[in-house]
Amino acid sequence: MRKITDFGEKIGGARKDLWRTHGIQEEDLHEMTEEEQKYYVTRENVWPLPNARKLVQEEGVEPWVAYWQRKVRLLIYKSPVVWKGEDFAKEAAAYVAGTQEVKRLVMSCRTEEDVKAAEEEINGWFTRAHYSSFRFRDDCPYRRCISSKVYLLQYKHGSMKNRVEVSGFPFEQKTGKKGTPQKKAFVPPQLMHIERGGEDYRHGRHVTPERWQDVFSFRAVEFGNWLSQKDRQASMDYCFDALKDLALALQVEDRDIAFQTDLALAFGARGQSGASAHYEPLRRVINLTKMRGAGCTAHEWFHALDHHLARHYGLENKVLASDGAEDPRLPESFRTLIRSLKTDYDGNPTDYYRGSRQFDRHFRKESYGYWASNAEMAARAFACYVKDCLSYASDYLIAHADVYEFEFDNQCLCAHPQGEERELYNELFDQLFYDLKKEGFFHQRKVHVQPKQEACVAETPAGYHVDYHFPVGEEASGQYLFQF
């Protein structure tokens, strides 16, 4: 079997492990998209909170100096100040450079004499505005990263020393009420095997990277280093079938699934082993893990669509279109769908919404907010829609569509749509995808003639053990059972 490696462009990603100690540097910005810069370039990432106790105990910093350092840090703006029409990347670079320089000056202080010397340098950033007020000099490089209130700290040494003495900073004990118990996560039942019926898209063969890209044309596909070659091949095979099923259910062209090369896919590549499947909007990549990716592919794909719609329709301040569902730039069918998830025609809460609220009471939030958030309710409803569109099992795609139920106080609480509400949502999804095809966002699927099976079947390479179980008396139709 040929070795399977990453293909397409490199997805990349944030080096958050390094930021925890050193903070974001200017060179880090070159590896970020503009969306990532807007998300990650913050005070917390550029100047991480110093460990005051360690500074005092191990580096000999005077306690009140460590307190002063924190006060200066809090005067750094939370994120870059960018006015309308300005280049965000340019201002983000200036913010990072300025904050790192202020950090260098402030964190080098150990004694009161050091603080006084640093404040003398800070005074040079200002000029007298009126008789009793000061403002930043026009040529000061730090005016867009820190508040002018930093000038006043030199007059507050006495109160800071008193605060440190009274509180025992940085060794004071935290007091107050204990936090509420953390909610547990709702974990869908793990699939012991994956079943699928329908057309045999691969004709008995394993899918290759070339075939994958010829069909879908993803921007990139990556694999985790801990995934064996057999796992990589299995992941590609079953995800290939699932995505073909998705395109069939939506009646769109296969290349529409990757939004015409905009979407990336990662199999266990962007997190630790055992992490949940999720979508990263900043890198436009769906992450499917070996054990928890199966069953929720449709759910995560809808999060990707939600993000892509926001970008396509110009919702600059919204990551997901469902978060700005009243924006008139969005299709009316989408806005109607999102509204209908929570309220019926008369304005009453839907059963689906009430059940989702109950899940919020008992379980932790999902990837994109609370169980009753627009994004999560829409993604779960979409998975049910895809399941109802298909006439056969497709576990890798939709096995978890109907599993959001649990018993509490002799009641069955449900966080997926059912009955007449589900039928309504299916009709609204039909209308949405009709509208998106009409606009050219998606393309109507062409009718393909299925080749004769005998001409296409190839043997599975030796040494690769996957159990295929076909019903007795039937030809190999793509129905399989994959044992984990």
pLDDT in tens, 411-429: 788 999 999 999 999 999 9
Helices and strands, counts by H and E, the chain? 17, 11
Average pLDDT value for residue range 354-365: 87
Report residue 483 as tokens.
């044992």
Band of pLDDT at residue 389, cut at 50, 70 and 90: very high
Which pLDDT score is estimated for 432?
98
Q: Which residues contact residue 379 at a Cβ distance below 8 angstroms, ignoring those fewer than 6 apart?
A: 299, 300, 302, 303, 306, 368
Q: Quick one: average pLDDT of 356-383? A: 88
**How many Å apart are CA 275 and CA 123, to the nearest integer?**
49
- Any residues with CB less than 8 A from the CB of 203 and at least 6 apart, and which? 451, 453, 456, 457, 458
Amino acid at 108: S
pLDDT score for 226: 83
Question: pLDDT band at residue 1, thresholds of 50, 70 and 90?
Answer: low
Q: What is the C-alpha separation between 259 and 333, in angstroms, rounded?
A: 20
Neighbours of 90 (CB within 10 A): 11
pLDDT(380) > 90:
yes
Q: What is the dihedral sign for C-alpha 388, 393, 396, 400?
A: positive
Q: What is the pLDDT at residue 12?
A: 74
Report, in angstroms and rounded to the nearest whole number, the Rg of the chain calculated over CA atoms. Answer: 28
Tell me the C-alpha distance between 291 and 267, whole Å.
10
Q: Which residue has the higher pLDDT, 344 or 2?
A: 344
Identity of residue 79: S
The two structure tokens encoding residue 205: 């063969």
pLDDT at 37 over 80: yes
List of E strands, 233-376: 264-267, 278-280, 285-288
DSSP secondary structure letters along 221-275: EEE-TT--HHHHHHHHHHHHHHHHHHHHHHTB-GGGGGTTTT-EEEES-SS-TTP
Query: 72: which 2 tokens?
Result: 């200066």
Query: Of 365, 361, 372, which Cα lies nearest the Cα of 338?
Result: 372
Q: Residue 455 pLDDT > 50, yes or no?
A: no
Q: Which of 3, 484, 266, 249 is nearest to 241 (CA)?
A: 249
The dihedral through the CA atoms of 276, 278, 283, 289 has a sign that is positive
The answer to whether 299 and 278 have CB atoms below 8 angstroms apart is no
Residue positions counted in the chain: 484
* CA separation, residue 106 to residues 66, 69, 219 (Å): 10, 6, 44
Cβ-contact 209, 4 below 8 angstroms: yes
Residues 6 or more apart whose CB falls under 8 angstroms from that of 300 comprise: 277, 278, 279, 286, 287, 288, 379
Stretch 22-43: mean pLDDT, rounded? 89
More confident: 271 or 45: 45
Band (pLDDT 50/70/90 cuts) for residue 482 is: very low
d(CA 205, CA 165): 74
Residue position matching structure tokens 């000999």 = 60
Displacement of CA 449 from its chain's centroid (Å): 38
State the pLDDT confidence band at 133, using cuts at 50, 70 and 90. Answer: confident
Q: Tokens 């926001």, residue? A: 310
Q: Residue 83, exposed/middle/buried by CB under 10 A (0-12, 13-18, 19+)? A: exposed
> What residue ranges define each of the domains in the chain, with the CATH number in brackets?
14-167 (no CATH), 196-455 (3.40.390)
| Most confident region among 2-6, 84-88, 96-100 by mean pLDDT | 96-100
pTM, two decimal places? 0.75
Mean pLDDT of 387-403: 93
Give the residue, 473 or 388, on which the prediction is more confident: 388
